Structure 1
Amino acid sequence: MSVKHVLLVAIATGTILFGAPIATMAQTSDPAAVKSDATETATDPAAQAPSEPATPAVTSETTTPQTQEDVDAGDVAPVSSDEEKSADAAKTAVSAPVMFDPAMVIDRARNLAQAPFENPHRELPEALANLGTDEYEQIRFKSQRAFFNPDNSDFSLELFHPGNMYDVPVAINLVRDGEIQVIPFSAGLFDFGKTGLSANDFSTQGYAGFRLRYPLSNVGSSDELTRFLGASYFRLQGEGQSIGQMARGVAIDLAGPTGEEIPVFKEFWIVEPQKGDQTITVYGLLDSERVTGAFQFEIMPGNRSQADVKANLFFRDGVEKIGIAPLNGMFLFGEQRRRSFDDYRGEVHSSDGLLINNGRGEWLWRPLDNPVHLQMSSFLDENPIGFGLLQRDRDFDHYQDLDRRFDRQPGYWVKPKGNWGKGHVELVEIPSPSETNDNIVAYWVPETKPVAGGEMELEYSITATRDGGGLHDLAQATDTRLMRMAAQGDDAARTRFVLNFAGGDLDYFIRDIKNLRADVSASDGTIENIRVMADPENGGVRVFFDLISDSDATSSNLRVFLLHKDKVLSETWTMPWVF
């Protein structure tokens, strides 16, 4: 799967905003120990590849990718006695191993913010840069060379080769028994498939990122748990879930007038898990023109895999809009917005709605859209309890896609830790003609803007969930359908909305449906013909209402929730509507 990002060149302000059409861009070996003895060679963590040459030790911590010649120890030339003496002197100068301390990542980020920014992107060899997405995906890490001893850990580590759009050299380090061990670059760790390339074609490339595997499905499986690949993107999967939407380290001025700034993770430290460990810890160093950051990820695999995130951000310069805990999804079309796509599939999306649990305890459900023009929605809040992009529709028949399995893709739920203060959850929906663009982004924007020299510390968790079930005990808004109705006689033109709610206590209260009602409101326009009826086919109830434009307003914010007498039974469905 390729990582996507979008370059946004328009911005609007307000609670619900609509802009002009914009263009989107798709972003679509053994570690060397830091030892005192320069003549020592690092041993394979799992002794898993005896046919590959061992890697020589390096004598200091480095983020510079090693060459193939450095890695292939079998080609080392004999040395003279004078050279041996020089080597002895060199190893004496670096007598102590470099021990890892999480504080060093924070210090690195703080010091990096005080230094001039250096563009991390570099020009790849033409053969790698010109690889298409399908060709790049043929370059696979040799699974038998995966890091971590299987006798000690259920986790395994694989690396990604540079190529296609992945042109940032990422330094990968293991933390083994507290000691930092650099993983030098070795193209021999990869199978190049049918690309026509081979390990001998490249000698000085860094890695593009990494993937962690874990037996999520059963004790003998090796499922993808997470991957960090491209910019500051990462993915997380739970049991029975397939690759879907993404999270990011941070978003900077997304949908801003000057264009988005894209931070990257330039270095990682992965703590080797010990026998019996059910979590794995990853540290990452983030950099961009105005922001640096130190991240810690405590990743817990399971039915709903979770990553606990700690981030320390440092600002070289002020930022107009910082996006915290950003989530990226894709929405091409669904039951509420089919537009003119000729497609054998009934729906195409990696998430179908934004769920928010605001600081007042209210649950809001906002169905996603692929709008005609750029659309931004802001949900003002203070100390949010949680938000996430969810994939509620789990019926394969609605998608009919055996390749991407949208019915199995995870939703992500973000839960802040501590008080995040005042700000807003922002949802950006970008017009897209293709599913190759991740055109949906949601994140938290603090009210206080970062300034040059400023710092920010925050914590949150991300959970890979299926449909958000278990987050609350209210009925969920499960379907949004609509129909535009032309004027007839004295009746004005209108749009009919059909919503389904299911779950919670609806099955209990539906027996008294005469006292079940829908609270429907619109910021502009007139609401007519509100009806609530039982839906024995889908379960729960179906709500109908008509919206009529009777003013000069160009849009309206709609809200709907269910009550039995005065008891609230459902989350609040909300949607912007353009007349």
Structure 2
Amino acid sequence: MRILLAGMVAMFLMFPLHVAAGFTFDQVVQKAKNLADKPYEVPQLVPKIMREISYEAYQGIRFNPDHSLWKESQSNFQVMFLTPGLHYTHPVTLNVIDAEGPRPLIFKKTEFVFADPEIEKRVPADVGFAGFKLTFPLKNKNEQNQFLVFAGASYFRGVGKENVFGLSGRGLAIDTGLPSGEVFPSFTEFWLVRPSPDAKEMVIYGLLDSISLTGAYEFTIAPGSQTKIKVRTKLFPRKPIQLLGIAPLTSMFFYGENTSRPIGEWRREVHDSDGLQIHDGFTREWLWRPLMNPANLEMDFFSTDNVQGFGLMQREEKFSGYEDLGAHYEQRPSAWIEPQGDWGQGKVVLVQLPTPNQTHDNIVAFWTPVTPVTRETPLEMAYDVSFGKANLSQNSLGTVVNTFIGDGNRIGGGNVPQAYRIIIDFAGGPLSKMPADSPISGQVTVLDNSDILEHFVEYHEQIKGWRLSILAKPQDKKPLHLRAFLKTDTTALTETWTYRLPMNNQILAQEKE
């Protein structure tokens, strides 16, 4: 009998926990399909006390890490939980899948620490979960570090080993930036697959619901210097969708080197991301679009064919770029989306909204298909999303280091009224091996009827790269839309910098009457 039991235990240990008891991604897909066949039901709200709680009071409710899921087995992966409240107004259902199959997790108020005893008395014992945080020994084997959070609608936030939390990923974006108003799908249920104690990756299933569609998600999560999440999803539309955003990223850009600094601000830059990077599959071109905080909603559409990747990046990774000891924007992660399989024709969409401060996310980027999304067309997509340092995309070309934009009618800028002086610094890639007297030139084009008055290239000793200087004047009451890269006679040396400067930008000096 002992031999038989030992053999059974050995077989069990060899058997991956994520397929225990036959629960698979296909079952989540079936749940999503069945849900799409039913009318949408608005999720229940949490009690009023939790919806109206102040930010300070909500921050005073902390999960006790001593109660982390799987802590008793000293697992690499452990789970901490979040209560509803503040922005998290709908509870989510959480399940665990282990050797015994799937089972629901029960909310226990005693696992939380309350800074305010009065709040503790008023919080219902069955208020439920808002989401969860994954921890892993990222920095040393004896310390659990938070690296991934699922909470609020379809949002999730990840970091690599050297990051602090910043931008977010999302399960899906629907009609973002459209006059009809954005639809925010929500994960309503999760299944956490218990990994072996020494596992390096973990699987989570998610069920997404909204008035527009439902979806099944599989996340295969591998934390590290770069935290990589393999995402597989199947979507079931309930109705036609005008603008479907696949693999959306959400970030914040208050101001940066390419914009004016708000009056009274002492920090040099304030942003979670400073640019959108795109790698097109058909042209093989790498694009870089610096972000901005516009006066009005701005939407840009970048046509792609078999897109190879896109992401919101935080390229400024020096403390001196921000000088903020509290926020540490230099440690905020970049995020890179890498499609799996041929996504075909589509567009990477950049949505930029005005924000009065750094507390509001105002940047969204996603991919949308050219093919209309109808009720009769389920969609299957797969992609990787990585969180980490700004070199995630592994672009081998020279990259944009700085973008500066100023008045083209002042000393050092030029003497042309209503013109702009644009400075773009490039470094890295093949540029790092080229001598200062190399025959490098700039290729500058306009995408409207603006005038390029001059452009020239200079070697930049401080960055071991080159500076492209442009003097350009837009047509009256038109935005300035430019593209530029560095080249030799026959070869592109850098990614393509692209920029659209709105008319209302507060850069040009006001003329005195």
1:157 equivalent in structure 2: 79
Give the C-alpha shift of residue 159 in structure 1. 0.6
The answer (yes or no) to whether the contact 1:352–1:368 under 8 Å persists in 2 is yes
The answer (yes or no) to whether the contact 1:304–1:464 under 8 Å persists in 2 is yes
1:395 equivalent in structure 2: 318
1:84 equivalent in structure 2: none
Give the C-alpha shift of residue 236 in structure 1. 1.2
Structure 1 residue 369 corresponds to structure 2 residue 289: no
Structure 1 residue 109 corresponds to structure 2 residue 35: no
Question: Which deviates more, 279-288 or 532-541?
Answer: 532-541
Q: In the aligned structure 1, how far is the partner of 2:471 from the partner of 2:100?
A: 64
Aligned AA (1:505): P
2:158 equivalent in structure 1: 236
Q: Considering only aligned residues, what root-mean-square deviation do their CA atoms show, in Å? A: 1.9
Q: In the aligned structure 2, how far is the partner of 1:453 from the partner of 1:339?
A: 49
Aligned AA (2:382): E
C-alpha distance 134-403 of structure 1, shift in aligned 2 (>3 A): farther
2:112 equivalent in structure 1: 190
Structure 1 residue 543 corresponds to structure 2 residue 468: yes
1:517 to 441, 446, 454: 441
1:36 equivalent in structure 2: none
1:214 equivalent in structure 2: 136
The answer (yes or no) to whether the contact 1:265–1:287 under 8 Å persists in 2 is yes
Q: In the aligned structure 1, how far is the partner of 2:115 from the partner of 2:74?
A: 31
The answer (yes or no) to whether the contact 1:141–1:158 under 8 Å persists in 2 is yes
2:184 equivalent in structure 1: 262
Q: In the aligned structure 2, how far is the partner of 1:226 from the partner of 1:553?
A: 45
The answer (yes or no) to whether the contact 2:409–2:415 under 8 Å persists in 1 is no
Give the C-alpha shift of residue 357 in structure 1. 0.1
2:430 equivalent in structure 1: 505
Aligned AA (1:556): L
The answer (yes or no) to whether the contact 1:354–1:390 under 8 Å persists in 2 is yes
2:302 equivalent in structure 1: 379
Aligned AA (2:424): L
Q: In the aligned structure 2, how far is the partner of 1:188 from the partner of 1:110?
A: 37
Structure 1 residue 284 corresponds to structure 2 residue 206: yes
Q: In the aligned structure 2, how far is the partner of 1:373 from the partner of 1:559?
A: 22
Give the C-alpha shift of residue 507 in structure 1. 2.5
2:94 equivalent in structure 1: 172
> What SS does the aligned partner of 1:567 have?
coil
Q: In the aligned structure 1, how far is the partner of 2:483 from the partner of 2:415?
A: 27
1:330 equivalent in structure 2: 252
Q: How does 1:387-536 map to 2 (within 5 A)?
A: 387-468=310-391, 471-486=394-409, 491-513=416-438, 515-523=439-447, 524-536=449-461
Q: In the aligned structure 2, how far is the partner of 1:185 from the partner of 1:425?
A: 40
Give the C-alpha shift of residue 508 in structure 1. 1.9
> What SS does the aligned partner of 2:161 have?
coil
> What SS does the aligned partner of 1:314 have?
strand
Per-residue deviation, residues 131-184 of structure 1 (Å, max 9, x unmatched): 222321221111000011454521110110111121111011010115112111
Aligned AA (2:374): V
1:312 equivalent in structure 2: 234
Give the C-alpha shift of residue 444 in structure 1. 0.3
Per-residue deviation, residues 367-407 of structure 1 (Å, max 9, x unmatched): 00001111110001111000000000001011112222110
Kindly, what percent of the aligned residue pairs are identical? 34
> What SS does the aligned partner of 1:213 have?
strand
2:170 to 248, 271, 287: 248
Q: In the aligned structure 1, how far is the partner of 2:410 from the partner of 2:80?
A: 61
Aligned residues: 480
Q: In the aligned structure 1, how far is the partner of 2:451 from the partner of 2:381?
A: 43
> What SS does the aligned partner of 2:304 have?
strand
1:136 to 29, 34, 58: 58
Q: How does 1:90-105 map to 2 (within 5 A)?
A: 100-105=23-28
When Rg is computed on C-alpha atoms for both structures, the one with the higher figure is 1
Aligned AA (1:289): I
Give the C-alpha shift of residue 124 in structure 1. 1.9
C-alpha distance 107-470 of structure 1, shift in aligned 2 (>3 A): closer
Aligned AA (2:329): F
Q: How does 1:64-75 map to 2 (within 5 A)?
A: none
1:148 equivalent in structure 2: 70
Q: In the aligned structure 2, how far is the partner of 1:170 from the partner of 1:470?
A: 34
2:492 equivalent in structure 1: 568
Aligned AA (1:473): S
Which residues of structure 2 form unaligned runs of 5+? 1-19, 504-513
Which residues of structure 1 form unaligned runs of 5+? 1-96
> What SS does the aligned partner of 2:443 have?
strand
Give the C-alpha shift of residue 338 in structure 1. 2.2
Aligned AA (2:292): D
Per-residue deviation, residues 228-250 of structure 1 (Å, max 9, x unmatched): 00000001111011010001000
The TM-score normalised by the length of structure 2 is 0.90
C-alpha distance 136-218 of structure 1, shift in aligned 2 (>3 A): same
C-alpha distance 268-199 of structure 1, shift in aligned 2 (>3 A): farther
C-alpha distance 355-201 of structure 1, shift in aligned 2 (>3 A): closer
Q: In the aligned structure 2, how far is the partner of 1:455 from the partner of 1:469?
A: 31
> What SS does the aligned partner of 1:505 have?
helix
